[in-house]
Amino acid sequence: MTAAGGWDEALAALAARREAGRQLGGPAAIERLHARGKLTARERIDLLFDPGTFRELGELVTGIVEVPGRPDREAAADGVVTGWGRVAGRTVFVVADDGTITAGARGPGGNRKAARIRELAAQNGYPLVLLLESSANRFQSMMGAQFAGASGGGSAGTSPPVAPWQSTGRTPVVCAVLGTALGAASFQTMDAEFSTLADGTAAMALAGPPVVQGGIGVEATPQDLGSGDVHATATGFIDHVAPDEADAIASVRRFLGFFPSSSWELPPRVVTGDPADRAAPELADLVPLDHRKPYDMGRLVRTIVDHGDLLELRPRYARNIITGYARIDGWTVGIIANQPRHLGGIVDVKAVIKAVRFAQICNAYNIPLVFLQDQPGFIVGPDSEREGALRQVVRLMNTAYGATVPMVTVLVRKAYGFSTWLLGGRAVGADHVVAWPSGAISLAAPEIGVATLLRNELAQGELSEERQLELYASYRKMSQARWAAYDFRIDDVIDPADTRAHLAGALAMVEGRRRDHLRTRRSFDTA
């Protein structure tokens, strides 16, 4: 028996405390949240984890909200629910902000909970999912000179803007923005391996409307500052914009299915039932032989991957290049493909930024890269230079030459310029490079070659239109991919219908290299 009246009384008090915490902000606050089309932290957790597997940590933590001129009040769970469970049978840790409690802003206790979960995920080599709806730290808890020590981090301190350990490239961090995520809450998405945002009910920005109004005198809504449309098209900060919270959480589960639990493991191979040698004769009809005619590379990719399942990332940002995860014969692969429907598939600054970030993540997590090339080279000119093209091309070069995962490349049509090398060429160590009969390889397109080599003759009118057409035809013939195959500068020229089977065979061939990659040093640039 306890000194205060026995076990029954002690356990009843404990149960009452737990039940109070489970009520979050209370029925009225939950009802208001639901009326806005939103879910509570625990409802989101139920969608994320396999049924019955979630174990909460820090359930008894209770914060105190102190606002001058108002009575103090308790904050159940101190604004955040934390713990771990299983997603498709694998352990995953979670930090879930709750919008019913001070709009998801955390107090010191909530920050300590979040920091502890981050530590446990990193120490044990498991993914971490952040369900974000927060203005980060509770404003009133951070006002004054005490803010100077607020970034101490660790389980004994408050939650810093950047985690005290560097998990990026070691254990997957996944961010789902499900409400207004501001300040430190939004910083975490910049280093995440995958991010999603619930459109309409969520926004992400460096600072919220009151701070913007007070700081620079501009009135703005959260959607003005960082809606799904802003991040999908202008910044490219969000990988997947979801129509609602349920879809956002489903995309998190889908992403985790492609990934290993840490960089010290290989991605799981899944028996999909899609035959590795499945022919795709429709591809020849999809891709025009005329290099000037566009087609949908996304449709081509979905035709060759298992059951057409492609998790495309940032589809509305840098639409001239496709990045995403898929499976071929059950193996997880990272797809990087030029999209001729947009800017002819040209490689511009945004496309490089998108491709570099994606390739670095694949390299960190032992995911082979599959390149599908149809591009006229890097975009050039004053605007491109002012956007920092030189720096971005060097970043792509460093990423390509530094990659240690297997790389397999298909030249679908045109492959011009140095981007031919850097997007899975032999020069950067690609394991297998093949072309379709429609493929063409050269330093530059025939028109650019003639304009460069014979610029004086053109300027002086010494080349007739008929002669120019003859030269173009000559260069096109010289650029045909078959010539590269004849002297073994590429591995083969294949029937488009056999593309899937060829890729599956190449991935099986490099299986030993996949395992060897676990022992190599990986670099990761989060810029």
In a domain, 12, yes or no: no
Instruction: Give pLDDT, residue 19.
Output: 75
Instruction: Give pLDDT, residue 244.
Output: 95
Tell me: do 144 and 169 sit in the same domain. Answer: yes
R_g of the chain computed on alpha carbons: 27
Q: Identify which of 114-118, 379-383, 449-453, 500-504 has the greatest average pLDDT.
A: 500-504
| Residue that the structure tokens 């598939």 belong to | 345
CATH of the domain at 151: 3.90.226.10
Tell me: do 486 and 473 sit in the same domain. Answer: no
In a domain, 199, yes or no: yes
In a domain, 84, yes or no: yes
Tell me: do 449 and 425 sit in the same domain. Answer: no
**Dihedral, CA of residue 339, residue 344, residue 346 and residue 352, to nearest 10:** -30
Query: What are φ and ψ of residue 492, in 5° steps?
Result: -170, 165
Q: Tens digit of pLDDT for each residue in 372-389?
A: 999 998 888 899 889 888
Q: Tens digit of pLDDT for each residue in 478-492?
A: 778 888 889 999 999
% the chain with pLDDT above 70: 82
In a domain, 276, yes or no: no
Cα gap 285→139, rounded to integer Å:
60
pLDDT(141) > 60 = no
Q: Tens digit of pLDDT for each residue in 398-453?
A: 999 999 999 999 999 999 888 889 999 999 999 999 999 999 888 777 766 666 66
H helix and E strand count, the chain: 22, 19
Cα gap 243→201, rounded to integer Å:
9
Tell me: do 189 and 318 sit in the same domain. Answer: no
Tell me: do 474 and 498 sit in the same domain. Answer: no
Q: Which of 258, 292, 321 is the last residue of a domain?
A: 258
Q: Tens digit of pLDDT for each residue in 35-68?
A: 888 899 999 999 999 999 999 998 877 655 554 5
Tell me: do 241 and 390 sit in the same domain. Answer: no
* Number of Cα atoms under 13 Å in the Cβ half of residue 475: 20
Tell me the average pLDDT across 191-201.
93
Both tokens of residue 5? 């009246």
Domain that holds residue 413: 283-439+480-516
Beta carbons of 237 and 195 less than 8 angstroms apart: yes
Beta-carbon contacts of residue 362 (< 8 Å; ≥ 6 apart)? 334, 368, 369, 405
Instruction: Give pLDDT, residue 175.
Output: 95
Beta carbons of 5 and 13 less than 8 angstroms apart: no
Q: Is the pTM of this model over 0.75?
A: yes
Instruction: Give pLDDT, residue 1.
Output: 46
- DSSP structural state of residue 366: T
Q: Tens digit of pLDDT for each residue in 460-479?
A: 676 677 776 777 677 777 77
Q: What's the whole-number average pLDDT of the chain?
A: 85
Tell me: do 504 and 473 sit in the same domain. Answer: no
Both tokens of residue 480? 């045909």
Tell me: do 124 and 205 sit in the same domain. Answer: yes
In a domain, 17, yes or no: no
Residues belonging to the chain: 527
Q: Tens digit of pLDDT for each residue in 204-256?
A: 888 877 888 788 888 888 888 888 899 989 999 999 999 999 999 999 999 99
- What residue type is 374 in one-letter code? D
Tell me: do 33 and 102 sit in the same domain. Answer: yes
Tell me: do 81 and 220 sit in the same domain. Answer: yes
Tell me the average pLDDT across 94-102.
84
The per-residue DSSP string of 63-123 comes to EEE--TTS--EEEEGGGEEEEEEEETTEEEEEEEE-TTTGGG-B-HHHHHHHHHHHHHHHH
SS3 204: strand
Number of domains in the chain: 3
In a domain, 430, yes or no: yes
- What residue type is 183 in one-letter code? G
Instruction: Map 265-310 to HEC letters.
Output: CCCCCCCCCCCCCCCCCCHHHHCCCCCCCCCCHHHHHHHHCHHHCC
Strands 180-182 and 55-57 come out as unpaired
Instruction: Give pLDDT, residue 226.
Output: 84
Tell me: do 121 and 177 sit in the same domain. Answer: yes
In a domain, 191, yes or no: yes
Instruction: Map 208-263 to HEC letters.
Output: CHHHHHHHHCCCCCHHHHHCHHHHHHHHCCCCEEECCHHHHHHHHHHHHHHCCCCC
Beta-carbon contacts of residue 495 (< 8 Å; ≥ 6 apart)? 437
Beta carbons of 85 and 126 less than 8 angstroms apart: no
Alpha carbon 164 to chain centroid, angstroms: 22
In a domain, 19, yes or no: no
Tell me: do 297 and 192 sit in the same domain. Answer: no
